[in-house]
Chains A and B, each alone.
Chain A
């Protein structure tokens, strides 16, 4: 919550956990998956390993800074930025829900755009949620407190 007093120790501890979790989720796992798929299907151009490090590092950095600045207004753009990057990452990693593979002369086209949209909804909502919650809380905080009888 914005304006909430959070100790430095707690921020650093949370940021460390967030950094490790995001590095595993957005860098390590996709990288391993990409390498496994590339080995299994050498004729298939899989884009995952080439951009996974840049996007994974960006998301991890944004989430970590957002955790370090928790309780401050400056955490809002970092949180929203991390979520937008996550959504774009999902879109790029899945080629917008259209994957074409070719194995031993047999072509496969897998289309799953609705599922990709479904995967993108939580991060996009998170990107909206951060500034909206901040604005609503600011409005509520600036409202005069009712008289206590």
Chain B
């Protein structure tokens, strides 16, 4: 014989179901948003795209790298993006840039690295400059990527 569940048991079950549903919907929305943002970012690298432009200006021993990146936010949540340098060596200056892009819009990230004397820096210990890019789906998740930006300058930018 199956006995009747009490009101308390039914209420607790309903709350558990609601919590599970909210979790599933949130995960689905975050997953979709991350996928859309990733696709939008990847489209910047396609042939003929003007989403990301970089140029190096050399004046004597000094060099400056300018990077402009148009970042679209095709997702459902605000997208925060930032780029910065970690502990730049003497003679190197970076301008950090960060912005939060609302959904269905795009923003332009401007980044600049200036080196006073490229030859001196290369002769000393090579140019090693850690750059960190952070992209985050506000407020759920973020990914931070750190890479040696020195090769972009010494290897020659476009």
**Hey, which bits of chain A sit against chain B, CB under 8 A?**
1, 3-5, 105-112, 114-115, 118-119, 121-122, 125-126, 129, 132-133, 136-137, 140
Q: Are B144 and A132 in contact (CB under 8 A)?
A: no
**Hey, which bits of chain B sit against chain A, CB under 8 A?**
1-3, 5-6, 8-9, 12, 15-16, 19-20, 23, 26-27, 30, 136, 139-148
- The residues of A that contact B8 with a CB separation of less than 8 Å are 132-133, 136-137, 140
Q: Are A115 and B140 in contact (CB under 8 A)?
A: yes
Q: Are B143 and A108 in contact (CB under 8 A)?
A: yes
Q: Give the complex CA separation of A107 and B19 in angstroms.
A: 35
Q: Are A133 and B2 in contact (CB under 8 A)?
A: no
Q: Give the complex CA separation of A140 and B65 in angstroms.
A: 74
Give which listed residue, A106, A111, A126, contacts B141 with CB less than 8 A.
A111
Q: Give the complex CA separation of A109 and B134 in angstroms.
A: 9
Chain B residue with minimal CB distance to A102?
B146
Q: Are A132 and B12 in contact (CB under 8 A)?
A: yes
Closest 8 CB pairs of A and B: A136-B8, A112-B141, A109-B144, A107-B146, A129-B12, A106-B147, A111-B142, A4-B3
- The residues of A that contact B5 with a CB separation of less than 8 Å are 1
Q: Are A115 and B141 in contact (CB under 8 A)?
A: yes
- The residues of A that contact B139 with a CB separation of less than 8 Å are 114
CB distance from A92 to the nearest CB of B (A): 19
- The residues of A that contact B16 with a CB separation of less than 8 Å are 122, 125-126, 129
Give which listed residue, A110, A122, A137, contacts B23 with CB less than 8 A.
A122
Give which listed residue, A121, A125, A137, contacts B9 with CB less than 8 A.
A137
CB distance from B141 to the nearest CB of A (A): 4
- The residues of B that contact A118 with a CB separation of less than 8 Å are 23, 26-27
Give which listed residue, B3, B30, B140, B141, contacts A3 with CB less than 8 A.
B3
Q: Are B143 and A140 in contact (CB under 8 A)?
A: no
Chain B residue with minimal CB distance to A140?
B6
CB distance from B104 to the nearest CB of A (A): 22
Give which listed residue, B20, B30, B143, contacts A122 with CB less than 8 A.
B20
Q: Are A1 and B3 in contact (CB under 8 A)?
A: yes
> Can you identify 7 A-B contacts, CB atoms within 8 angstroms?
A106-B146, A107-B147, A111-B143, A114-B141, A115-B141, A118-B23, A121-B23
Q: Give the complex CA separation of A121 and B1 in angstroms.
A: 33
Give which listed residue, B6, B19, B30, B145, contacts A121 with CB less than 8 A.
B19
Chain A residue with minimal CB distance to B26?
A118
Q: Give the complex CA separation of A133 and B27 in angstroms.
A: 28
Q: Give the complex CA separation of A107 and B9 in angstroms.
A: 48
- The residues of A that contact B26 with a CB separation of less than 8 Å are 115, 118
- The residues of B that contact A109 with a CB separation of less than 8 Å are 143-144, 146
